[in-house]
Amino acid sequence: MSKINQILLEWIPGDVHCLTWMKERGIEQRLAYKYFETKVLHKIGPGVFSRAQDKIEWIGIVRLLQEELKLPVHVSGKSALELHGLGHYATLNSRREINLLSYESKSYPRWISKIEKGFELKFESSNTFPHEEFLTDYEERGMKIKISSRELAVL
């Protein structure tokens, strides 16, 4: 089985990956760009790819930021409450809004705002509770991310 077929089998639909992830699986940068040029992969940012024809999911981007890019960000506020099953507000627009919080004031990749998606990621920073102990794991479609605990999300 070819290297690209191996990673495409491992690649969860809607997820995004960076070159580091691909390199760990034997796909060098030059080969990744070849797959992009032949339309096997879709480039969504510098060194960041999705599977061609995949609809990019918000959780895939958050997972990339947390796990692969090691950025200190997590789902917070109303978005975290909704993921805990405590959301009770009807969304009036078709674009889902995902609130993300970081304990560091870092700039986040600009490519995120440029990709076509059915959601909007809203970044904020706060150092009110800068501890990972107030975060909990959340899994959807085989992708795991960190989100605010119910108590932290309320604050």
- pLDDT tens digits, residue range 11-29? 999 999 999 999 999 999 9
pLDDT tens per residue, range 109-146: 888 888 877 888 888 887 766 566 678 899 999 999 99
User: What one-character-per-residue DSSP string does the chain give?
Assistant: --HHHHHHHHSPTT-EEEHHHHHHTT--HHHHHHHHHTTSEEEEETTEEEETTPPPPHHHHHHIIIIIS---EEE-HHHHHHHTT-------SSSEEEEEEESS-----THHHHS--SEEEEEEE--SS--GGGEEEEEETTEEEEEE-HHHHH-
| CATH code given to domain 58-154 | 3.30.460
Whether 88 shows a pLDDT value over 70: the answer reads no
Q: Tell the residue number behind the tokens 């078709």, with chain if given.
A: 94
Domain ranges of the chain: 3-51, 58-154
Residue 103 and residue 72 in contact, taking contact as beta carbons nearer than 8 Å? yes
CB 17 within 8 A of CB 47: no
Quick check: pTM over 0.75? yes
| Residues 32-42: tens digit of each pLDDT | 999 999 999 99
